[in-house]
Amino acid sequence: MRKIVLAAFAASAALALSACGQKAEEAPADAAADAAATATEAAATATDAAATASDAAVDAAGSATEAAADAAATATDAAAAAAGAAEDAAKKM
């Protein structure tokens, strides 16, 4: 998200600075259009990168949830086995 905002700000700043130049050195409309196209392309790339990062975060969260569930099940099984062993030991005494 920051990259998108940064790209938009950079494009706006570039256009603003080009407008402040001397009249003899004004940027042609084609250069401004190219700058706008470049900014749009950069924003699209940043959006794609953000979507990819978001997908990776969702996948990582899902994997972490599954791992936590597996660990909880293993701990429950171990506790049940320990309780059973303790009962057996108590009966033998």
Other CB atoms within 10 A of residue 7 CB: 20
Residue 27 has pLDDT above 70, yes or no: no
pLDDT at 21: 61
pLDDT at 48: 87
Q: String of b and e for 36-55 (b: at least 16 CB within 10 Å)?
A: eeebeebbeebeeeeeeeee
The whole-number average pLDDT for the span 27-47 is 82
58-88 pLDDT, tens digit per residue, is 999 999 999 999 999 999 999 999 988 888 8
Average pLDDT score, the chain: 82
pLDDT at 33: 81
